[in-house]
Structure 1
């Protein structure tokens, strides 16, 4: 697009026809090289420049709104920060504060995207520093119940 990449999902020939209509190039859908999904795949090298030229006329956000309104799934390709902001705007709570072992907040981490019913507690303790728990783990492994007996 004029300002950023756009992801578009055209899942069938009807969506492709709506897609080209929104882009103001409806004759492309009538071209036998692009009339069906298999034909579009076979002639991708001819199709891509036509779509890129049409999409360069507007911003990704403008195309996203226009295409979505016509039932063609589309969205601006975003970076991680933009994705987090969008998730927050949608009320999805994508991050969680994490604390050290003394309960002090030391940062934020991504929350697991799955939600469980009934809800599970999300871990809120920061991962240990390299080597922080070595002595505890080695002692635990030395307990008799963790020894493997080879015969």
Structure 2
């Protein structure tokens, strides 16, 4: 199951379509439908950004983390996308510039809830994807869903 969610409404449809194209892959999905709820906002706390964390519950996995971008928020979109293949889950958190880049580092806090999961062990991989940069693995671990 291939899903995406956008954290901002400004130009969301155009950016989401571009991101779906950018993240498209040839994977076969199995199992029940995967639901994704995704939100993101600017991270304004002082100090270092917290690491990616995972919490499993009944039929769901909640992922929280931060994503640093090379442009300021006024010209950025943060989007989430999820895929499932059997017991393997992949969450991609991406940055898509929405115009000319105003130089400066911005940090966004995000929360993704992957739902409609049966009880069991899932391999969860979280990728951070910045347009124009190589993707990197922010988390790769087994998660037990009750």
Larger Rg: 1
- Higher RCO, 1 vs 2 (CA within 8 Å, ≥6 residues apart): 2
Instruction: Verify same fold: TM over 0.5.
Output: no
Q: Which has the higher helix share?
A: 1
What is the TM-score when the length of structure 1 is the normalising length? 0.20
Q: Which has the higher strand share?
A: 2
